[in-house]
């Protein structure tokens, strides 16, 4: 008997039949036409196989949806199972069918872009000074890249000749093979995905369409960049094979250690040691800023070590924005270590006048120690 009978007709069911109806009808017909019950009957054996084929398809929701829409053509691939689309077959196979029904998840994830692959992106690490990050600057760099071959203008073919359509994939750059119910798509091994082959390669690039070359580039660094800032130079990466688009060059910035300032975002930090007399009496210190100006920092009388004083707007500029951060100066009170006789005499005279109220924190600490000792000895 012919195997071209409609699956629903084979199972003696309507197209809208539910799963239970399909299953019950299949069991009844499989028992009726089973070869054990019809020994030597070729028609019964053929119908039994056809019934099994129909049920295997319709019991699966995805296969059934494809069959309802396209019939048995949904399961044919270029005229037979296991074929690819190389050698003359077109794209209208099961991969396209399932992609149109269920989306790319059942279409094999095929990429629409064909041809030579885009060139690779490159990375370049650059160290700059904090002053350069503050004001912005221009830097020239040299990078070794695979650049477009001038001799063949990137085609890979010898000047005066042309490329030819790949006969393995018919110029698609991909070949497919059926594995069970799904299609597997791979890059064409003959043309490496380009869709074209070169019979007479360029003598300079040997068919690659690109050659190794050192390029000199100018990098514009904007004010406010920070550690890890990435600058993209579009199209300055490696050229793609056989005229494909070039990749990008990414400049990753690193900050050199500064002798005076540390940075956190747009805030600059520095430490300023001052004498204990300046700390006691107050005064003023001057900090040179990255902006080239001198910033006067007022020291209030009685300041303690670790106190931070903030100068608004004297920090780093905001990247791609307006304004600046702050400059934060941490005060370190320095105890003198080299006193002459006169200074020692004056300090001794000062100590003799101390009442303890000059240093309330010290007085309070030792007062608590005395109380603790008294409690232990009672």
Residue-wise pLDDT for 172-225, tens only, equals 888 887 666 667 788 888 777 778 888 888 888 888 888 888 999 999 999 999
For residues 244-258, give the mean pLDDT. 92
Query: Could you write out the three-class secondary structure of the chain?
Result: CCCCCCHHHHCCCCCCCCHHHHHHHHHHHHHHHCCCCCCCCHHHHHHHHHHHHHHHHHCCHHHHHHHHHHHHHHHCCCCCCCCCCHHHCCCCCHHHHHHHHHCHHHCCCCCCCCCCCCCCCEEEEEEECHHHHHHCEEEEEEEEEEEECCCCCCCCECCCCCCEECCCCCCCCEEEEEECCEEEEEECCCCCCCCEECCCECCCCCCCCEEEEEEEEEEEECCCCCCCCEEEECCCCCCCHHHCCCCCEEEEEEECCCCCCEEECCEEEEEEEEEHHHHHHCEEEEEECCCCCEEEEEECCCCCCCCEEEECCCCCECCCCCCECCEEEEEEEECCCCCCHHHHHHHHHHHHCCCCCCCHHHHHHHHHHHHHHHHHHC
* Nearest 10 degrees: Cα torsion 119, 121, 127, 132: 90
Q: Is the dihedral of CA 15, 21, 22, 27 positive or negative?
A: negative
pLDDT given at position 98 = 44
* Whole-number Å distance between alpha carbons of 280 and 305: 11
Percent of the chain clearing pLDDT 90 (strictly above): 38
Percent of the chain clearing pLDDT 70 (strictly above): 85
Task: Pick 317 or 182 by higher pLDDT.
Answer: 317
Q: Say how many C-beta atoms besides its own lie within 10 A of residue 197's C-beta.
A: 19
Q: Output the CA–CA distances (angstroms, integers) from residue 377 to 99, 369, 370, 371, 373, in the order listed.
A: 89, 12, 11, 10, 6
Determine whether domain 122-163+198-255 maps to CATH 3.30.390.50: no
CATH class (in words) of the domain with range 7-106: mainly alpha
Task: Pick 113 or 59 by higher pLDDT.
Answer: 59
Is 169 annotated in some ligand binding site?
yes
Is 57 annotated in some ligand binding site?
no
Is 191 annotated in some ligand binding site?
yes
* Whole-number Å distance between alpha carbons of 7 and 259: 83
Is 152 annotated in some ligand binding site?
yes
Please state which of the ranges 118-122, 136-140, 151-155, 354-358 shows the lowest mean pLDDT: 354-358
Nearest to 180 by CA among 60, 290, 310, 277: 60
Residue 113 has pLDDT above 70, yes or no: no
Asked whether this chain's domains 7-106 and 262-334 adopt the same fold, the reply is no
Q: What mean pLDDT value characterizes the chain?
A: 82
- Of 3-7, 44-48, 150-154, 264-268, the range with the highest mean pLDDT is 264-268
Residue 274, helix vs strand vs coil: strand
Residue 92 has pLDDT above 80, yes or no: no
Q: What is 262-334's CATH superfamily?
A: Urease metallochaperone UreE, N-terminal domain (2.60.260.20)
Query: Using CB atoms within 10 A of its CB, is residue 133 exposed (0-12), middle (13-18) or buried (19+)?
Result: buried
DSSP per-residue letters across 288-306: E-TTS-EEEEEE-TT--TT
Is 41 annotated in some ligand binding site?
no
How is the chain split into domains, by residue range? 7-106, 122-163+198-255, 262-334, 341-377
Is 202 annotated in some ligand binding site?
yes
pLDDT category at 97 given cuts 50, 70, 90 is: very low
Facing residues of 270 across strands? 329
């Amino acid at each position: 008997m012919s195997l071209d009978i409609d699956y629903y007709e084979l199972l003696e069911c309507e197209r809208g039949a539910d799963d239970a109806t399909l299953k019950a009808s299949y069991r009844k017909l499989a028992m009726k036409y089973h070869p054990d019950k019809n020994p030597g009957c070729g028609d019964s054996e053929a119908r039994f196989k056809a019934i099994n084929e129909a049920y295997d398809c319709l019991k699966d929701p995805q296969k059934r949806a494809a069959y309802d829409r396209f019939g048995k053509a949904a399961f044919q691939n270029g005229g037979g199972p296991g074929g690819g689309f190389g050698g003359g077959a077109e794209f209208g196979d099961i991969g396209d069918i399932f992609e149109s029904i269920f989306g790319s998840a059942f279409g094999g994830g095929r990429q629409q872009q064909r041809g030579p692959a885009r060139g690779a992106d490159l990375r370049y690490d650059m160290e700059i000074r904090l002053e350069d990050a503050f004001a912005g600057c221009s830097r020239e760099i040299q990078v070794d890249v695979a650049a477009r071959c001038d001799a063949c203008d990137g085609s890979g073919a010898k000047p005066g000749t042309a490329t030819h359509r790949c006969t393995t994939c018919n110029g698609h750059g991909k070949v497919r093979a059926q594995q069970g119910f799904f299609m597997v798509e791979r890059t064409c091994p003959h043309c490496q995905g380009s869709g074209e082959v070169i019979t007479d390669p360029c003598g300079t690039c040997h068919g690659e369409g690109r050659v190794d070359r050192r390029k000199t580039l100018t990098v514009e660094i904007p004010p406010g960049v920070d550690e890890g800032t990435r600058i993209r130079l579009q199209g300055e990466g490696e050229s793609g094979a056989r005229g494909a688009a070039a990749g990008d060059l990414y400049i990753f910035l690193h900050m050199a250690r500064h002798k005076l300032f540390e940075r956190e975002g747009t805030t600059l930090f520095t430490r300023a040691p001052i004498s204990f007399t300046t700390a006691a009496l107050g005064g003023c210190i001057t900090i040179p800023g990255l902006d080239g100006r001198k910033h006067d920092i007022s020291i209030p009388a009685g300041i303690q070590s670790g106190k931070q004083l903030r100068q608004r707007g004297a920090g780093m500029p905001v990247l791609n924005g307006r304004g600046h951060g702050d400059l934060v100066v941490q005060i370190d009170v320095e105890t003198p270590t080299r006193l002459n006789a006169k200074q020692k005499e004056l300090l001794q005279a000062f100590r003799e006048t101390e009442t303890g109220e000059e240093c309330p924190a010290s007085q309070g600490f030792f007062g608590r120690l005395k109380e603790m000792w008294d409690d232990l000895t009672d």
